[in-house]
Structure 1
Amino acid sequence: MTAPNILLLMADQWRGDCLSVAGHPVVHTPFLDQLASRGVRFSRAYSASPTCIPARASLHTGMTPASHGRVGYQDYVPWDYDVTLAGELTRAGYQTQAVGKMHVYPERSQLGFQNVILHSPTGIVRMARQQGRDPGLVDDYLPWLRQQLGRDATFFDHGIDSNSYVARPWDKPEHTHPTTFVATQAADFLRRRDPRKPFFLFASFNAPHPPYDPPGWAFEQYLDREMPDPPVGDWVELFARHAKPADPTAWVADVDAATLRRARAGYYGHMTHVDHQIAYLLAELEHHGVRENTYICFISDHGEMMGDHHLYRKGFPYEGSARIPLLFAGPGVPGGSVRDELVELRDIMPTLLECAGVDPPASVEGESFLGRVRGEVGVSGEDSQWRGDLHGEHVMFGESQQWLTDGRSKYVWFSGSGHEQLFDLVADPEETRDLARDPSSADTLAWWRARLVAELDGREEGFTDGRRLIPGRPVRACLAHVTDHRQE
């Protein structure tokens, strides 16, 4: 039997609710909807540490943030992992190719891939220039763009920042857009690959991450769409001290309606553009006759708050930031089903390894969901032997935001102040009502607090003594076992 191929499609900063098949009232994703109809959609998929670097570490290693050591965002920490998804598949005889965003350090680290065609986001290329490094050393897209448009061409001369909510259409020919570049380069791999080997292709789009600069047609189709107001919780003042009204890259701001409408048009426009380019790439699978023997997985590294509760960007424990889309299709996977298991980025590695018939290494902490979606083991529910809850964390504003969810409730604890939040995700999926101060929720709050104590017991930060949570402990975005390794 011919070993199956694997196509892993990754977007950046794509909210879990932003699929039309999931009922989103604005965004239109017909081709991802079609992929969902041919496979399974997970309704409760999360990123446990929802910014680019720690989320991608979980994806590529199959480990929790505490184990791979990245519990927040910190640049310039080497990715010295001996065991990775691509490395295991390469050892198993797969031809392995990455195209697009990696966000690792050093930037040319291959993480076990045999070849990487790198598109570094705007911020990384800018930092390289500021440090006196040739941007071409950290990015393959920029040299390609200059081949297309001339030696002085850049993809950041329109002035939009890589973390800004300011939006405008792409100012160059559409075929030069980074999203199109990733799809085109990925399709070219399908043309030139060794047909005697199974392949693992990782196509990683920077969109819909800012800059919000999709092609004009994609941007304009959302400008006049009716959009619901973002939810604003009764706890919105919690982050008010971090607000920066005059900063378009702010994490916290009450943005005027016109600017927010343009930001959402840019964000959703990126999604529609990615959706169309994925359709092109899937058509190339058909063209080469490999679609039926290819597992296809679509994910994002994290979401985007996009004005919910006056918050922007990512890193927060709330649904807009931490919940992600996850679509999975391939041989033996029944079409059109929706699963409600709690899945996380660490589960992708063992799942794809099982697709390839490769045993997961001992370091992998995620669980394969392949047998479940094929109906070979378990069903959703208390008897399913799947995780009952999920722990997440991220260092933000000088403290660690720790959270737990079982998909029905969510508990949040702030390590600096000791402040707690509790949400009923069934009755209040937009997290507008904080129940932590409600006397009727005292027992539920105490149960979750004890659960977090058990989760954090033994951690190097000293968040607990095993009996209670201890606020005020110093935090760092990378734990000592990672940073000490860098110094060796």
Structure 2
Amino acid sequence: MYESCDRRTFLTQTALSLGALPALLQVTAQTAESSRPNFLFLFVDDYRADAIHALGCNAIRTPNIDRLVWQGTAFTNCYNQGGWHGAICMASRAMVMTGRNLWDTHALDASLPEQAAAGKLWPQRMQASGYRTFMSGKWHVNCNPAKVFQRARHERPGMPPDIESQYRRPEEQKPDPFDPADTTQGGYFTGGKHWSEVVADDGVAFLRKEAGDEPFFMYLAFNAPHDPRQTAHAWLDQYTADALPLPPNFLPGYPYKDEIGCSADMRDERLAPFPRTPFAIRTHLREYYAIITHLDAQIGRILDALERSGRAENTYIILAGDNGLSIGSHGFMGKQNMYEHSMKVPLIMSGPGIAADRRCDALVYMQDFVPTLLELAAVAPETPMDFRSLLPLLRGEESSLRPHIYGAYMMLQRMVRGERYKMIYYPTVSRYRLYDLQEDPFELQDLSEVPEHGATLKELQEQLQRLQKEMHDPLSGSVS
């Protein structure tokens, strides 16, 4: 079982294979059908990049995700580009399907049903090249997954059925109206079984009964840890709210929340009372960590099934998040902001020849995994993609893919991040924020009005203008 092997034992068992890294990652169209690699894609929702024990979060228990970290390469500066409305996950997942940048994907979004009907999306290209494709879980893309995948099970919406009692709570010295373990409230328990467990059931069943001898691509997408964050007491009882550390950048509120689209009336921001309190945030963190630990156990079930199938050695595993989350950081609860906790996402890759227990700090986008997967599978996309293969980083041929990262939220927020400095721009109020991520990783000290950093601010303004043109940003030219 995955939980029975510690880090040292695992690394001892796998170290001998690393010398073959360059050769194992050289996949060509001439690869024999019997040795074509399999792909297991694990997609998680609203998952902060720092909420993994093996990557430094001592407060959380994630033994199975830790296993993936130890056996593979974790990209520690991985970003999503943002979104064109409050449901950031829709843009993030649409970009996965198109392989195009944020605003080009926005322009293509309405045509996704036609592209799927014509067999032009990349999972369909994989099927056409001989892959057996399977999907279960959250979809939230503007086309029918049954058209995109050979087999689609339990398609889920953007979030479980909402529960009104989860909002504007908890308040100190008042009864908490929300019980995360109450299965009668619906939410994740709608249908009689927790949705994370259903995804794992589907993945295990596919590996046991349906994978066959063909190479396979599995797309397993969990709604967790998106709210409503519900789990049984067995998972909740592993955490004590009072003992959990607050985020270092906790704030009671954010000064520009109304101007940037994160007012007290926004759905995500209504999850906790205003002003934010340590009591409320610790309560939410307990529920967040508990649903993640439950999710982690379901991932472990899938990994165990893969091992039992005898196909693990020839399978690439990719774990990625669609967007991050705040939960009290900078006074936010949601992900509709440009700070690291909301823009960065986990991205871990393991498989034949991928270095074990390695951290890569190059600036990447989560959607870069798509051209990476296609290159490993020797499958050509229907049209060129904006995102870039990670193989030069995985092979050690390059240390960087791009000098800057771009981010956007509606017409209200923009960001650009370089290796060290990051700038956030609020166009409706002509306000900049500048952070030195090397010295200030939690983005606590705004340097935008410090004269000594004027040249850095100007350089990042120019880089944002360049990226806005490249991305076909509708606000291109707005940076003053």
TM range (shorter): 0.7 to 0.9
Within 5 A, what are the aligned runs for 1:8-407?
Answer: 8-49=41-82, 51-69=88-106, 79-81=113-115, 83-106=120-143, 108-110=144-146, 112-121=148-157, 160=165, 168-172=179-183, 176-224=193-241, 226-230=243-247, 231-232=249-250, 236-239=254-257, 243-244=263-264, 249-250=269-270, 253-375=274-396, 377-378=397-398, 380=399, 384=400, 386-395=401-410, 399-407=411-419
8 Å Cα contact 1:411-1:445 kept in structure 2: yes
Deviation at 1:343, TM superposition (A): 1.3
Q: Which runs of 5+ in 1 are unaligned?
A: 127-155, 471-488
Q: Could you list the per-position Cα deviations for residues 260-286 of structure 1 after superposition, in whole angstroms to 9, with x for gaps in the alignment? A: 222111111111111111111000001
- Taking the aligned partners of 1:290 and 1:245, their CA distance within structure 2 comes to 49
- Taking the aligned partners of 1:409 and 1:345, their CA distance within structure 2 comes to 20
Provide the identity percentage.
27
- Taking the aligned partners of 2:423 and 2:59, their CA distance within structure 1 comes to 29
- Taking the aligned partners of 2:44 and 2:69, their CA distance within structure 1 comes to 16
Q: Partner of 1:276: helix, strand, or coil?
A: helix
Structure 1 consecutive aligned stretches of length 4 or more whose deviation exceeds 6 Å: 162-166, 245-248, 458-461
- Taking the aligned partners of 2:154 and 2:294, their CA distance within structure 1 comes to 20
Change (3 A) 1:332 1:246: closer
State which drifts further: 16-25 or 294-303: 16-25
- Taking the aligned partners of 1:237 and 1:41, their CA distance within structure 2 comes to 34
8 Å Cα contact 1:167-1:263 kept in structure 2: no
Counterpart position of 1:410: 422
Q: Partner of 1:392: helix, strand, or coil?
A: strand
1:422 maps to amino acid: L
Q: Partner of 2:43: helix, strand, or coil?
A: strand
Number of residue pairs aligned between Structure 1 and Structure 2: 424
Q: Could you list the per-position Cα deviations for residues 231-270 of structure 1 after superposition, in whole angstroms to 9, with x for gaps in the alignment? A: 1479931226754399885288422333222211111111
Alignment partner of 1:469 is 2:441: no
Q: Could you list the per-position Cα deviations for residues 402-458 of structure 1 after superposition, in whole angstroms to 9, with x for gaps in the alignment? A: 111124221111222221111111111111111111111111000011111122238
8 Å Cα contact 2:102-2:471 kept in structure 1: no
- Taking the aligned partners of 2:459 and 2:265, their CA distance within structure 1 comes to 38
Change (3 A) 1:160 1:97: farther
8 Å Cα contact 1:162-1:209 kept in structure 2: no
Q: Which runs of 5+ in 2 are unaligned?
A: 1-31, 171-176
Q: Partner of 2:415: helix, strand, or coil?
A: strand
- Taking the aligned partners of 1:458 and 1:217, their CA distance within structure 2 comes to 49
Deviation at 1:193, TM superposition (A): 1.7
8 Å Cα contact 2:133-2:218 kept in structure 1: yes
Deviation at 1:335, TM superposition (A): 0.6
8 Å Cα contact 1:40-1:328 kept in structure 2: yes
- Taking the aligned partners of 2:394 and 2:193, their CA distance within structure 1 comes to 38
Alignment partner of 1:443 is 2:443: no
Q: Could you list the per-position Cα deviations for residues 42-96 of structure 1 after superposition, in whole angstroms to 9, with x for gaps in the alignment? A: 110111115110000112221110211179xx9x996544543312211211110
Counterpart position of 1:478: none
* More helix as a share of residues: 2
TM-score of the superposed pair, with normalisation by structure 1: 0.79
8 Å Cα contact 2:38-2:315 kept in structure 1: yes
Change (3 A) 1:201 1:458: closer
Change (3 A) 1:371 1:456: closer
Counterpart position of 1:131: none
1:432 maps to amino acid: L
State which drifts further: 197-206 or 229-238: 229-238
Q: Partner of 2:223: helix, strand, or coil?
A: strand
8 Å Cα contact 2:235-2:294 kept in structure 1: yes
8 Å Cα contact 1:26-1:225 kept in structure 2: no
TM-score of the superposed pair, with normalisation by structure 2: 0.81
8 Å Cα contact 1:254-1:307 kept in structure 2: no
State which drifts further: 62-71 or 260-269: 62-71
Change (3 A) 1:265 1:233: closer
RMSD: 3.0
2:409 maps to amino acid: H
